[in-house]
Chain A
Amino acid sequence: MSSVLNRASRNFLWRHPWQLALAIVGIALGVAVVISIDLAMESSLSAFDQAGKAFSGVATHRIIAGDGGLDEKLYRRLRVDEGIQKLSPVVNGYVFMSKQTDAGFNLIGIDPFVEKSFQSIWQIRKNKNTSAGLLTRLVTELNTALISEQTASRLGLNIEDDLTIDTDHGERRLKIIGLLSPNNAVSEQVLSRLIVTDIATAQEVLEMFGRLSSIEVLIDKYQPAAYTPSLAIAAPVPDRLAAYTPSLEIIRKALPGNALLVEAESQSQAMREMTRAFSINLKALGLLSLLVGMFLIYNTMTFLVMQRRRLIGSLRSIGVTRRQIFKLIIGEALLLATIGTLIGIVLGIALGQGLLYLISGTINAIYFRIDVASLTITPLQIGKGALLGITATLLAVLPPAFEATRISPVTVLVRSQLESGIRRLIKAANLISGVFILGGMALALWSGKSIALGLASIFVLLFGFAMMTPALTLMFMKLIERVFGRLSGILVRLPVRMVSAEISRTGVAIAALMIAVSATIGMDLMIGSFRQTVADWVQTSLRADLYVSLPGEKMPDARAEQDQRLKAKLAELQDVKMLSSVLHTNTAIARDGVYAEAGAAAENNFTKVSVFELNEKSRPGFIFKHKTDNELWDRFEQQQTVIVTEPYAYHQGVKIGDKIRLQTDQGSEPFEVLGIYADYSGDQGHLAMSRRNYRHYWPDLGYSGIGVYAKDGVDLQQLENQINKLLTGQQSVQSDQALYKASMAVFEQTFTITETLRWLSAAIAFVGVFSALMALQFERTRQLGILRAIGITSGQLTVLITGETALMGLVAGLIAVPVGYIVAYMLIFVIYQRSFGWTMAFHFNPGVIYQGLALALIAATLAGILPALKMAQTKPAEALRSE
């Protein structure tokens, strides 16, 4: 394209630095939010993968067990009796640094002389500290450990220093005998949260005597399947696994009831599956920011085209073709998109670091334990963000680019003609918006269990309402004028007229603000409803007066006996009337179970089980989602039955009367589903069975919590003090109210990320409105100059412009309230149910409406102040000279 033509375009952009900067900011913010969420989410999840690789290395499979772990005899049996050599035992658990607020460490006990081909991260080659002598010392000296050089330096420790750690069972000292030096960023991140010991030390520190957490298995891919053809024929498996079959089948046959052999990567996949809904919801919030950002880009580019109507008309008259004009505008957009996206990537990385802690905190609170030290940035994620930013910009710029090509070389449209053209477009947009709204509703109704389609339906709905916004704005303005116009003066009517007269500009700004505010109202109502539902649920569930918490790994035998002794002591206390108990554990789903072919459950292998010992006071704490009778509890205690949580029933498609087969120590056993109850403690759901039932099939693993019911009139504080004396360091006792507060604090924590992202999209909308208003005021500089010429003071002009922007905010708020309600309804009854399987009541909170209205009004007014002041300060003589 002609360089002179390009220069004409470039010069124009340079002469509008505000608009240029705001367009870039719009793109950058949209891209930044999307990238930051992606980076933070992926970093959190890859931290889990990497931690796994620290001890699994290139293992192909892993033998895992539910709570209680694996008997270490299994390792010996597989290695010695079955001759499977490439096995690596692992004992691991979380410990904390004493007197440090630092996050926890993963303590891994390994056999350092085991098969080297695992290539675990700690087995760094050429690392002088992993020399044979040092490893021998690790095995032969009890309570010795290796940590990374970075950790040692962070904690101010040297070789031969003692490392004091807190475990579930009290304080322990480990002697540092060597430092591991990472050789890349990934190993550095993993090692920074790792303490390596030998198996015996780890078993002692974690009190896992005679138990293993897992056994890593490396199966040679080229092992001929023909070794034991009878097995391969007997149990046909997919081709991919065919080569492994002999060893795998031998291992499977040797496993006890609570153990499973899984592919090494399947845990990572299961973890990703578990957080899929959370991840999709977060990414949708990021896309919402980008959608608002697109409005901003569209608005800016439209302004840049409109401002150049004369220039483009002149160019057309001297022979510049439509295609050249189109290329010119697209070229500009591409340049802006590139700059904006690059800034967005840098901002996104910075923002991602902040979000990382929020996201990993939420995953820690509701899914599984992860430790994330820093953001992992991959070219793929950056590429995705860049592609998204550039595509969004080009999409947003298409309408103004086409508009530019339609500018006639003969007549340059005057503003009023342009606006009347826009009004015709608004009518068309109104019709289309109806199609979008109906389409969004239809999509929500017929999208089955898909979360992505559910979220897409909200986007389609929001877009529909956004398209309807200009028409609704015109209607509102007419109404305001009808009601107040006759009573008020022209100076009051003028802002109303200004909004409707320049609807092509004001409409877009109002729509962008409306989307952000309605999303805010929707999320506020949803979170409020959820909070109320959870609060009601927690209050109903907490039936005991005091709760004793017994954290830590659940182990059979000695550990379980300790728990039993504590429970007996509690029962003997004079002020205690009765007790209830719960054990949170997990159990393998039988491979021939009803879900064996149902995907997630079968792949996931384990299901969480709450084992209850209930009494007449604790039973009403269960909120069933259906009518129940007295027989339910009898059958729960006496028969081979379970009750399931609502999310479990939703995700697994379980109905009352179904039978779930669980892998017990005596083989696969069916458990009939008696009821479905409300539970908001996790989104994957779990089963609940009576302790009597559980003990029939599984070994005793002690308790996770004990509910204490005091006798009438007892001083609870005194009882709490008495109980406290019976507890060890990690055990604690809390009143029902303290537990309620703690539960609600966790609830609030899980929504911090949602709140943060919501405010981010509101901030982008604010920039959008600000940009639109700036553009608007620049465009009408001359008109404002005329007002000044006929005697309107700069103060009056400020009030006039701020009044106009306040009106825009008011309209955005008024439209956002009903739209926000629809969004809330969709979030509660479509998205949250599909994502997490929770049903909740819609709690109406009028405060949210006022807040939403105030937010829109304040944001728009604030966004209008600077343009208003700038215009008021512009000298009337200069304003009159402007085009």
Chain B
Amino acid sequence: MSTEAAITIQRLSKSYQESGQRHQIFKDLNLQVSIGEFIVLLGRSGSGKSTFLNLVSGIDQPDSGEIIINGIQLTGLSEHDRTLFRRHHIGFVFQAYNLISTLTVGENLLLPLELIKRTSRQERDTVAKLLDQLDLADRFDTYPDRLSGGEQQRVAIARALVHDPDVILADEPTGNLDLDTGQQVLALFDTLVKNAGKTLIMVTHSPEVLGKADRVFSIRNKSLADARDGVYAASLSGTGAAVEG
């Protein structure tokens, strides 16, 4: 892990208008994430975890504050430029996998490469190798709906990594998986993301992950709070087990 800042968030505020009422999600939130750092984000349902990831990826816009990734001021970019930024620098893994159902597994992985104009034969080999690493070598031409949940999530991780982004954002990647499959997926994050030196922010309820994270935060009082004491995390996970820092 480098001490150089990969992500800098300053005085970030975000609110939603719902049923005529304004709901404040974040207020003056600050965070600095170093290159290669693994951040885990905890929080009750509706606390704003997914919103946080959407803001970091540029999918959503804050009301105020700054998000700087690799020196690029994300909040100052237009919607179009944020999209271009995302396709180069961000890899996203969703809880519901969110693979493109009309594309095969191979095509799902080739799409992010095509978007950054990497369309050579070599890229196809890269995809094939990646799938091989994920034990999905024979699924290149298979459509996502033919895969199990675990397989789909592995493809989703591969899609998030294939174009070699700087930051990986994972939104409850094991939320839809059984315990064993969830652990396999987490192991993949370990080998493919952390070992590759990628910056990773993961929203999860899984206690196993907490031990591997560099820092653990929870969203409390519209801001991020260090959740290393474990009590909060344990209460969230429902296991009752203390979480080690």
Contact = CB atoms under 8 A, between A and B. Distances in A.
Interface of A: 414-417, 489-491, 493-494, 497-498, 501, 782-783, 786-795, 875-877, 880
Contacts of A792: 83, 87, 115
Contact of A880 (B54, B114, B159): B54
Contact of A789 (B59, B101, B116): B59
A416 B59 contact: no
B145 A791 contact: no
B66 interface: no
Interface string B133-169: 0000000000101000000000000010000000000
Interface in B49-66: 51, 54, 57, 59-60
Nearest to B55: A877
B86 interface: yes
| Chain A interface, DSSP helix/strand/loop, else mixed | helix
Contacts of A791: 83-84, 86-88, 90, 112, 115-116
Q: Lowest 8 A-B CB distances belong to which pairs?
A: A791-B87, A416-B145, A497-B102, A877-B60, A501-B102, A786-B98, A876-B59, A793-B83
Contacts, number: 82
Contacts of B88: 791
Contacts of A498: 102
Interface stretch (B36-44, B103-111, B197-205, B206-214): B103-111
A794 B83 contact: yes
| Most chain B beta-carbon neighbours within 10 Å: one of A415, A491, A786, A794 | A786
A876 B83 CA distance: 10
B119 interface: yes
Contacts of B84: 791, 793
Contacts of A489: 114, 119
A491 B116 CA distance: 12
A489 B103 CA distance: 12
Given A416-B145, A876-B59, A877-B60, A790 B102 contact: no
B161 to A, nearest CB: 12
A425 B89 CA distance: 44
Report, as a range, how many residues of chain B touch the other chain. 20 to 34
Contacts of A786: 94, 98-100
Interface of B: 51, 54, 57, 59-60, 79-80, 83-84, 86-88, 90, 92, 94, 98-103, 107, 110-112, 114-116, 119, 143, 145, 159
A176 B66 CA distance: 89
B203 to A, nearest CB: 14
B145 A795 contact: no
A482 to B, nearest CB: 14
Contacts of A494: 100, 102-103
A790 B110 contact: no
| Most chain B beta-carbon neighbours within 10 Å: one of A489, A493, A790 | A790
Contacts of A794: 79-80, 83
B92 A789 contact: yes
| Most chain B beta-carbon neighbours within 10 Å: one of A786, A788, A789 | A789
Given A490-B103, A493-B107, A783-B101, 8 more contacts: A491-B111, A491-B115, A494-B102, A783-B100, A786-B94, A789-B92, A790-B92, A791-B87
Nearest to B144: A416
Contacts of A491: 111, 114-115
Contact of B54 (A417, A493, A787, A877): A877
A415 B83 contact: no
Given A497-B103, A789-B92, A490 B111 contact: yes
B13 to A, nearest CB: 16
